[in-house]
Structure 1
Amino acid sequence: MKKFLFISITFLALSCQTKEEVDLIVQNANIYTVDGDFSKASSIAIKDGKFVAVGNIEEITQKYNAKELLDAEGKTIVPGLIDAHCHFYGLGQNQQVVDLVGTSSYDEILEKVVAFHKERPSSFVMGRGWDQNDWEVKEFPTKEKLDELFPDTPVALRRIDGHALLVNQKALDLAGITVDTKTEGGEIVKENGKLTGVLVDNPMGLIDPIVPPLSTEQQIQALKDAERISLDYGLTTVNDAGLSRETIELIDSLQQAGELSIRVYAMVANYPENLDYFLNKGIIKTDGLNVSSVKVYGDGALGSRGAALREPYSDKPGHFGAMVTPVDQIEALAQRIAASDYQMNTHAIGDSANIVVLRAYDKALEGKSDRRWKVEHAQVISPSDFDYYEKGIIPSVQPTHATSDMYWAGDRLGSEREKGAYAYKDLLEKAGLVALGTDFPVERVSPFLTFYAAVARQDLEQYPERGYQMENALSREETLKGMTIWAAYSNFEEDEKGSIEPGKFADFVILSEDIMTAPLQNIPNIEAEQVFLGGKKMK
């Protein structure tokens, strides 16, 4: 008996000694792993920034000893959320300018601009976020009142979608813009032969040379501000849709120095100098940075009537919108990028722009497999054109665009054409997946609003009562996949993130409520209570 007891004690001691040491074990959790079976678990073990085990606490504690134990108290855990299309750096820049989001009139905009300039005087006043579709009079503003308030200081106020700009006369003069200025791919808006101060799409670039550049310190602060806001909502990876070489290299240097933690999939902005550098250099990939795609603008936005349509706008006869990048250039770009290892990700809103992009992709990718090129927004599509998505093209869509635009989209498009707009379920059925994002700061940062808009297709007042075009709503499982594993797949990163599985980065979020079972009306108010990036608690 004594011999048996001695052997048992010895065996237990050896068993304890052979347990693997890990950094963290999380227990008592409601975990949606988003693995291939969409399985659930209650415990995870983490070591060196990666998941090493997923299961229940008994299974995990038999094999592992932890330096730290976290009791999740039954709360829901999901993989780190990925915003598949946003303007991360732009969000940070916006923290330095007048915030015009939610303004209900032009007069309110003017009040905010005056108050901002009084508090923070500068030689150039900038702002972003106005949307004339939210006003009682849903027409573009004009510059007269700005000229009166700021006769000697240039002012530039960007529309919420980034596709229109209101500037005063001082800015026009400094930029050399007159009624005779010629441009393509947009519009210099005039009334009665006079400039209104509104520039749509490409003409906005005429203002860029007169805007004072941010200092390096201001750029760093912008990136850190954007990271703080994004992590607060549980975003652990952001796909920034269009960055310069300078900003990409700044992000890389900050990550390498440990001053920026969020993971960034950086789309290279389509400028000749950027393409010449990055396409020749090849893909740049670290744990924190992925530079492997080019962002191209096909057309403008629907809200500013810049989206390129096959037939005229229903609320503006004779107006078709415009291609920002000419058709022949899109085709040439597609051929050039197809000859490299890079993806091509193209902004396409109108049905005309969408078919241009889809045809260019189809031709350039002939004979090539698994390139995962994306159409960003894929917003208005003709019925016959959905079939292109069966060929491996990925729709990257933003559900809150549907619930922001639904009040006036029918006016722009007409009821028949509207049926092919914001058609996320149709796109999913053809492509097999959808990558979901917000397009922030065009929309709000919250991924929980993305989730709500995809599933409920309603605004925060539960309008419309039965949802907007509910035949194109996504299920909760499809939506969570679109914000995690499908978004990761679209970035060629499905082997390292997007699900809670051994070997992947320990990026995960503890939620205030179960997003898969909570009443729909609760989803917009869900919070990311704790956020982990590579096993490190960020919030």
Structure 2
Amino acid sequence: MPIRISYFLFPQRPGKELADFESWTTLYGADSNSASMANGYVLEGVGELLAYKASDYENFLSPRPDFTSSDGWDKDLHAVVRHLVRNRWPFRIHATYDQSANAMLDVFEAVHRAEILAGRAGFTGLRWAFDHGETYIPATIARTKALGGAVAVQARMAYGGEYFLERYGREAASNAPPLRALLNSGMPIGAGTDGTRVASYHPWSSLYWMVSGKTVGGTRIASDENRLSRDEALTLYTRGSAYFSGEQEVKGQLVPGQYADLAVLSDDYFSVGEEAIRGIEAVLTITGGRVVYGADEFSALAPALPALKPDWSPVHHYPGYYKA
């Protein structure tokens, strides 16, 4: 494969999540990365949904979900997490809101206490993470760190920031997610796009948002204190995110002993104007020491690709993506 994908299994049958996880932990091995397994497609664990009832899938145009009344979400989540912990499977779980994360932490801590009392490891040494965390407060960050967790943030505010601002106000939006507080906590933090439908895997819009504090529409959202330096943002996107697949020793840095993965860029990320960050492209991409993409002066190095299918694919009529 020309790219590396670390994937997490996502249950598809509401009400039968535990059965799926019991089957998967029997059939497959998780968290199995090593330098000898550089095949680019590795099962890491499960998530980012663990139990359908324990889901806070966000829509900033709608009120946040309410976890105060129990419809069995806590029992479903408890059973799944206990199974994963006992089988030492890494997991990640979607939690946009502080209230959701705290409700989930109540369940996690209960599982951990029970496992420790039974003489088992519980959460100790297990890689797990929250995804998103737009409204997390310092106390929630501290609880997450104390249980050995991590937080992966995404650029959803770059695309939905105006909706968030309208619903929750300027003060909440200025610290959503609390990038500076998360960094200062010292626990593992990574960054990404979340595969947001309007941008797919375009990293430069994400880096632009973290550095500028602006949405792609130009609305300034983040406070000065919550903006990151270019180096900090890039670190979260590379070395920081490698932690979530257990690959921090083999990817994320240009150092001896790590994968020969790199991209030559159209512009210098560290010196171009802030607004130009969004327009950066790769002109040469190397994966495992092999050229997998070339453009401009590197076009001759690009490998031949199979014909794009189907014939009516829009790329045959509108090649590439829109450039401002």
TM value normalised by structure 2 = 0.74
Q: 2:152 aligns with which of 392, 396, 409?
A: 396
Q: For the Cα contact (< 8 Å) 1:451–1:480, is it kept in 2?
A: yes
Paired residue secondary structure (1:355): helix
**Residues 20-59 of structure 1 aligned to structure 2 (within 5 Å):** none
Paired residue secondary structure (2:157): helix
Q: 1:352 aligns with which of 99, 104, 111?
A: 99
Q: Name the structure 2 match of 1:101.
A: none
Gaps of 5+ in 2: 12-16, 50-54, 114-120, 294-324
Q: Cα distance, 1:429 vs. partner?
A: 1.4
Matched, 1:449 2:205: yes
Q: Cα distance, 1:496 vs. partner?
A: 1.3
In structure 2, C-alpha distance between the alignment counterparts of 1:441 and 1:293, rounded to whole Å: 21
Q: Cα distance, 1:338 vs. partner?
A: 0.8
AA partner of residue 269 (structure 1): F
AA partner of residue 99 (structure 2): S
Q: Name the structure 1 match of 2:163.
A: 408
Q: Cα distance, 1:358 vs. partner?
A: 2.6
Q: Cα distance, 1:273 vs. partner?
A: 4.8
Matched, 1:520 2:274: yes
**Residues 84-233 of structure 1 aligned to structure 2 (within 5 Å):** none
Q: For the Cα contact (< 8 Å) 1:509–1:529, is it kept in 2?
A: yes
Q: 2:46 aligns with which of 288, 294, 315?
A: 294
Pair 1:419–1:483, CA change in 2 (3 A): closer
Q: 1:342 aligns with which of 86, 89, 100?
A: 89
User: What per-residue deviation string (whole Å, max 9, x for no partner) do you get for residues 39-59 of structure 1?
Assistant: xxxxxxxxxxxxxxxxxxxxx
Pair 1:348–1:443, CA change in 2 (3 A): farther
Matched, 1:469 2:210: no
Q: For the Cα contact (< 8 Å) 2:132–2:153, is it kept in 1?
A: yes
Task: Indicate the larger mover: 386-395 or 493-502.
Answer: 386-395
Q: Cα distance, 1:300 vs. partner?
A: 1.7
Q: 1:495 aligns with which of 249, 273, 280?
A: 249
AA partner of residue 210 (structure 2): A
Q: Cα distance, 1:502 vs. partner?
A: 1.4
User: What per-residue deviation string (whole Å, max 9, x for no partner) do you get for residues 55-105 of structure 1?
Assistant: xxxxxxxxxxxxxxxxxxxxxxxxxxxxxxxxxxxxxxxxxxxxxxxxxxx
Q: Name the structure 2 match of 1:534.
A: 288
Q: Cα distance, 1:324 vs. partner?
A: 10
Paired residue secondary structure (2:268): coil
Q: For the Cα contact (< 8 Å) 1:381–1:420, is it kept in 2?
A: no
In structure 1, C-alpha distance between the alignment counterparts of 2:140 and 2:169, rounded to whole Å: 18
Q: Cα distance, 1:418 vs. partner?
A: 4.6
Q: For the Cα contact (< 8 Å) 1:394–1:431, is it kept in 2?
A: no
Paired residue secondary structure (2:47): strand
Q: Cα distance, 1:407 vs. partner?
A: 1.4
In structure 1, C-alpha distance between the alignment counterparts of 2:227 and 2:96, rounded to whole Å: 19
Task: Indicate the larger mover: 526-535 or 351-360.
Answer: 351-360
Pair 1:377–1:483, CA change in 2 (3 A): same
Q: For the Cα contact (< 8 Å) 1:307–1:353, is it kept in 2?
A: no
In structure 1, C-alpha distance between the alignment counterparts of 2:72 and 2:241, rounded to whole Å: 26
Q: 1:437 aligns with which of 175, 192, 209?
A: 192
In structure 2, C-alpha distance between the alignment counterparts of 1:362 and 1:493, rounded to whole Å: 27
Paired residue secondary structure (2:185): helix
Gaps of 5+ in 1: 1-259, 311-319
In structure 2, C-alpha distance between the alignment counterparts of 1:526 and 1:325, rounded to whole Å: 47
Q: Name the structure 2 match of 1:269.
A: 10
Q: Cα distance, 1:526 vs. partner?
A: 0.6
Q: For the Cα contact (< 8 Å) 2:264–2:283, is it kept in 1?
A: yes
Paired residue secondary structure (2:87): coil
Q: Name the structure 2 match of 1:428.
A: 183
User: What per-residue deviation string (whole Å, max 9, x for no partner) do you get for residues 143-195 of structure 1?
Assistant: xxxxxxxxxxxxxxxxxxxxxxxxxxxxxxxxxxxxxxxxxxxxxxxxxxxxx
TM value normalised by structure 1 = 0.46
Paired residue secondary structure (1:345): strand
- Flag the structure with higher strand content: 1
Matched, 1:511 2:265: yes
Q: Name the structure 1 match of 2:65.
A: 308
Q: Cα distance, 1:431 vs. partner?
A: 4.0
AA partner of residue 177 (structure 2): Y
Q: Cα distance, 1:330 vs. partner?
A: 1.6
In structure 1, C-alpha distance between the alignment counterparts of 2:177 and 2:275, rounded to whole Å: 21
Pair 1:521–1:416, CA change in 2 (3 A): closer
Identity of aligned residues (%): 21
User: What per-residue deviation string (whole Å, max 9, x for no partner) do you get for residues 110-139 of structure 1?
Assistant: xxxxxxxxxxxxxxxxxxxxxxxxxxxxxx
Q: For the Cα contact (< 8 Å) 1:300–1:306, is it kept in 2?
A: no
Matched, 1:370 2:125: yes
Matched, 1:278 2:24: yes
In structure 2, C-alpha distance between the alignment counterparts of 1:492 and 1:449, rounded to whole Å: 25
In structure 1, C-alpha distance between the alignment counterparts of 2:239 and 2:210, rounded to whole Å: 16
RMSD over aligned Cα atoms: 2.6
Rg comparison, structure with higher value: 1
Paired residue secondary structure (1:371): coil
Q: Cα distance, 1:529 vs. partner?
A: 0.7
